[in-house]
Amino acid sequence: MKNAVIVDIVRTPRGKGRAGGALSALHPQELLAGVLVELRKRTGLDPAEVADVLTGCANAVGVHGDNIGRLSVLAAGWPVEVPGVTFNRACGSGQQAVNSAAMMVEAGQADAVVASGVEMMSHYPPPSRMTLDGGNERLRARYPVIPQGISADLIAAVEGFGRADVDRFAAESQRRAAAAIAEGRFAASMVPVTDAAGRVVLDREELPRDTTEEALAALPPSFERLGAAAVEGYDRSFDAMAREVYPEAGEIAHVHHAGNSSGLADGAGAVLVTGERYARERGLRPRARVVATATAGAEPVIMLTAPGPAAELCARRAGMSLDDIDLFEVNEAFASVVLRFARETGVDPGRINVNGGAIALGHPIGASGPILLATLLDEMERRDLSTGLVTMCTGGGMGTATIIERM
């Protein structure tokens, strides 16, 4: 098998994922096209040699639809011969694009692949009736899938994490993110976003805010009413469904809110993955090698517990243990997800999300995989460390993982 290497990563700052956010006037295709153009500039890549552009996007409808991966290639002005495809593994979509790109190279099916991700939550349609299981009543009888926020609260109930625990974690995420921004730790991979007239519309992370545990403690829980309410199409509440599968949870204390959950965000990122020999022959200087990748499934009602199994599987495939990993990026979908990961794996929290995470910086769903990979690699270089791991939970009870090693 060939070695798959990461030549470079570029990504946008994360904008607020709502109307009025700095990026919200842009089209998602143009946002992704911008990072594709920048990736070409930084690497000297000849796009005609790219075998495929793999794009993660979790809500590929409306302006995100019609195969946004291919359309963004065209919007970037790349040759029409360069194909594009769009992946949906929910929150892990962009990371799946990276992992699949590495697999293509390792299998000898491509010399150069671009893995990317994009999501502009500011363009999401207004909330409507939830569809969590496609309306399949037989599946619902087997797995009564509930909204992710309630799954996060279920994790907290089962694990015994209280409101103070998740708020403390969230405040620390904000503190770490603020320190990273002040020291310019995101600058290496982050590129300013411009509009059609060439004006810079965002050149910094837009979501972080100055907060304290005391301020977080005053926020109302986000999912308490949803958990208890009668929902159209369901014969019992979401909380009742959760307790049926996890009776040990007892009454679910809803501890998550806007301040300790990932922020709605807009963003895009792109990674150039090539074979090591190809890079050498083209005079490219790879930044890292893809050591191993993994995807794991977990029980789909509690849903958000697969990062630990995915990370451990990835490490076994690499012939490593998690103790061998220098730094971790564990997507902060909700505070309880990362708290559980640390408890389950025994990884020192001081090695996890050292520059903050999605609670402070936002989670532009399909784009988060490439963005977290960029954050990890930039910090590994800054600290002169060797190995890092990215892992994410995804809807439906799955987790994705990638281990990289600096070159």
* Catalytic positions: 91, 363, 393
Three-state SS letters, the chain: CCCEEEEEEEECCCEECCCCCCCCCCCHHHHHHHHHHHHHHHHCCCHHHCCEEEEECCCCCHHHCCCHHHHHHHHCCCCCCCCEEEECECECHHHHHHHHHHHHHHCCCCCEEEEEEEEEHHHCCCCCCCCCCCCCHHHHHHCCCCCHHHHHHHHHHHHCCCHHHHHHHHHHHHHHHHHHHHCCCCCCCECCEECCCCCEEECCCCCCCCCCHHHHHCCCCCCHHHHHCCCCCCCCCHHHHHHHHCHHHCCCCCCCCCCCECCCEEEEEEEEEEEHHHHHHCCCCCCEEEEEEEEEECCCCCCCCCHHHHHHHHHHHCCCCHHHCCEEEECCCEHHHHHHHHHHHCCCHHHECCCCCHHHHCCCHHHHHHHHHHHHHHHHHHHCCCEEEEEEEECCCEEEEEEEEEC
d(CA 71, CA 57): 13
d(CA 228, CA 249): 15
Specify which residues 271 forms β-bridges with: 9, 115
Q: Take residue 88 and report the two structure tokens written for it.
A: 């949906």
